[in-house]
Amino acid sequence: MSKVLMKIVLDSLAFFELADDSAIDQDVAVAQMEAIAANLRQLNPQERKEFLSFVSEQAESLRRDPTARRYVSFLDNLPEALSLN
């Protein structure tokens, strides 16, 4: 899977998860995240492994940045939240 596409997926998921309630309706956000998760669960084992590795790499690359703490926490919890692990 392309790293660009994986980054787009992560950015989309982060938007729906981390956006302020005034920016997006939470019911819409949850529905969209569930739809993305359902599609990600259709990845074959190798693609899923590649995606989860990318998620981990992204978290590690930002771990020392104090301004990214919320995003890193989101990434750390993402595999379990989407039932991908």
Q: Which residue has the tokens 């596409």?
A: 5
8 A C-beta contact, residue 37 and residue 83: yes
Angle (deg, nearest 10), helices 3-18 and 69-81 = 100
pLDDT band (50, 70, 90) for residue 1: confident
Can you give the residue range of the structural domain that contains 62?
3-81
Contacts of 50 (CB under 8 A, 6+ apart): 1, 6
Dump pLDDT digits (tens) for 16-36.
Answer: 999 998 999 999 999 999 999
Predicted TM-score (pTM) of the model is 0.89
Q: What's the structural domain count of the chain?
A: 1
Dump pLDDT digits (tens) for 31-82.
Answer: 999 999 999 999 999 999 999 999 999 999 999 999 999 999 999 999 999 9
How far is 51 from 6, CA to CA, in rounded Å?
7
